[in-house]
Structure 1
């Protein structure tokens, strides 16, 4: 998956758009350097996780699950029913990780137009070389 690792990160301008909408959640280290973040957007009337990233030096410390819990709190405050995302089905720190955190895979007939569109776009840019899946977790 070298192509994924070599993918350019979002620009500061793109990140600022999420921040301006209150849809960027960030963990910083003791030096106030960001080490994990989650980007949210509204999609199909739900809260959609656009990106969740944890720096490898801070992996396995619960930052990802804490960010997902904070995203769920945001969704609850917004009156949204589901937290959704798309991810790689077989990569251990992707779909299996999200399953452990209560996300369930969606079948094709369960996809709303927005999630279907994201999966189609991901296929168009070549991400479907590895199996992709849409998942959701009910906002509790």
Structure 2
């Protein structure tokens, strides 16, 4: 874990840098069954601006430059983790877990009972990683999760390869 790491809210001036982090992080999918994701466009600037404005985008900063981020929003009274990415140069240092815990802390303050997310079942740094962070698979989708699944399908994601997960906070 990097000792100089600082968590803070992202700013609009960082939108393109956040997109660069997402692009770089996606290269981790190369060599997996989901390699095509490495070439996907990152989250659009408008969505990032909306999350920044609503307090749903945190960055981890190392030496005055963001090296990771987590994007989230409220869905059905819980914190839904939309995206979490770490620069490959900073991977495997626990930064993602620190960001996830920061969202849990915010969630407690906002009265959220849990965090939820959707991820790939078969990618080692996806579902197995989140299980280590205390997430469990959701067997029955809530209406909000079903809507997110429909949005994913509209974007071309293979939802048969994905799982929704939940962690009580």
Same fold per superposition (TM over 0.5): yes
TM-score with structure 1 length normalisation? 0.91
Q: Report the alpha carbon displacement of residue 64 of structure 1 after superposing the two structures with TM.
A: 0.2
Aligned to 2:101: 69
Q: Report the alpha carbon displacement of residue 51 of structure 1 after superposing the two structures with TM.
A: 0.7
Q: Report the alpha carbon displacement of residue 69 of structure 1 after superposing the two structures with TM.
A: 0.2
Alignment of 1:28 onto 2:61: yes
- Where do 1:92-131 residues align within 5 Å? 92-107=124-139, 109=140, 111-128=141-158, 131=161
TM-score with structure 2 length normalisation? 0.76
Where in structure 2 are there 5+ consecutive unaligned residues? 1-33
Where in structure 1 are there 5+ consecutive unaligned residues? none
- Partner of 1:96, secondary structure, is helix
What CA distance in whole angstroms lies between the structure 2 residues aligned with 1:15 and 1:136? Answer: 23
Deviations 1:2-49 (A, max 9, x none): 32111111233321211111111101221x222110011010111100
Deviations 1:54-78 (A, max 9, x none): 1111101110000000000011000
Aligned to 2:113: 81
